[in-house]
Structure 1
Amino acid sequence: MTSSALPDRAEAQAAAATADEPLLKVSGVTRYYGDRIGCTDISFDLWPGEVLAIVGESGSGKTTLLNCLSTRLAPTAGAIEYRMRDGAMRNLYQLTEAERRLLMRTDWGFVHQNPAEGLRMTVSAGANVGERLMAVGNRHYGNIRDTATSWLERVEIAADRIDDQPRAFSGGMRQRLQIARNLVTHPRLVFMDEPTGGLDVSVQARLLDMLRRLVADLGLSVIIVTHDLAVARLLSHRIVVMRHGRIIETGLTDQVLDDPREPYSQLLVSSILQA
Structure 2
Amino acid sequence: MTETPLLRVEALTTRYGSRTGCEDVSFALWPGEVLAIVGESGSGKTTLLNSVSRRIEPTSGTVTYTMRDGTPRDLATLTEAERRHLGRTDWGFVHQNPADGLRMSVSAGGNVGERLMAVGRRHYGDIRQVAADWLERVEIPADRIDDAPRTFSGGMRQRLQIARNLVTHPRLVFLDEPTGGLDVSVQARVLDVMRRLVADMGLSAILVTHDLAVARLLADRMMVMKDGHVVEEGLTERVLEDPQHPYTQLLVSSILAV
TM-score by length of 2: 0.99
Instruction: Map Cα deviations across residues 179-201 of structure 1 (whole Å, 9 max, x no partner).
Output: 00000000000000000011111
- Among candidates 132, 153, 163, match of residue 136 of structure 2: 153
Distance 1:187 1:273 in 2: 32
Q: Name the SS of the counterpart of 2:243 in structure 1.
A: coil
Match of 2:114 in 1: 131
Q: Name the SS of the counterpart of 1:85 in structure 2.
A: coil
Match of 1:63 in 2: 46
What amino acid is the match of 1:156?
Answer: E
- Among candidates 89, 100, 123, match of residue 117 of structure 1: 100
Distance 2:53 2:68 in 1: 17
For structure 2, list consecutive stretches of 5 or more residues without a partner in the other structure: none
Q: Name the SS of the counterpart of 1:138 in structure 2.
A: coil
| Identical pairs, percent | 73
Instruction: Map Cα deviations across residues 153-192 of structure 1 (whole Å, 9 max, x no partner).
Output: 0000001100000000000000000000000000000000
For structure 1, list consecutive stretches of 5 or more residues without a partner in the other structure: 1-17
Match of 1:14 in 2: none
Q: Aligned ranges for residues 28-47 of structure 1 at < 5 Å?
A: 28-47=11-30
TM-score by length of 1: 0.93
Match of 1:51 in 2: 34
What amino acid is the match of 1:37?
Answer: T
- Among candidates 48, 66, 75, match of residue 58 of structure 2: 75
Q: Aligned ranges for residues 167-206 of structure 1 at < 5 Å?
A: 167-206=150-189
Distance 2:220 2:143 in 1: 36
What amino acid is the match of 2:40?
Answer: E
Distance 1:139 1:83 in 2: 28
The 8 Å contact of residues 212 and 256 in structure 2, kept in 1 or not, is answered as no
Q: Name the SS of the counterpart of 2:54 in structure 1.
A: coil
Q: How many residues align?
A: 258
Distance 1:273 1:157 in 2: 31
Distance 1:133 1:19 in 2: 29
Distance 1:42 1:199 in 2: 30
Match of 1:252 in 2: 235
The 8 Å contact of residues 102 and 161 in structure 2, kept in 1 or not, is answered as yes
The 8 Å contact of residues 213 and 256 in structure 2, kept in 1 or not, is answered as no
What amino acid is the match of 1:218?
Answer: M
Distance 2:163 2:193 in 1: 11
Distance 2:174 2:166 in 1: 11
**CA shift at 1:137, angstroms?**
0.4
Distance 1:19 1:144 in 2: 33
Distance 2:69 2:54 in 1: 20
Match of 1:13 in 2: none
Q: Aligned ranges for residues 229-248 of structure 1 at < 5 Å?
A: 229-248=212-231
The 8 Å contact of residues 209 and 215 in structure 2, kept in 1 or not, is answered as yes
Distance 1:268 1:226 in 2: 12
Distance 1:175 1:34 in 2: 34
What amino acid is the match of 1:87?
Answer: G
Distance 2:257 2:215 in 1: 17
Match of 2:197 in 1: 214
Q: Name the SS of the counterpart of 1:103 in structure 2.
A: helix
Distance 1:263 1:201 in 2: 28
Distance 2:178 2:90 in 1: 19
Distance 2:240 2:256 in 1: 11
**CA shift at 1:274, angstroms?**
3.7
Q: Name the SS of the counterpart of 1:178 in structure 2.
A: helix
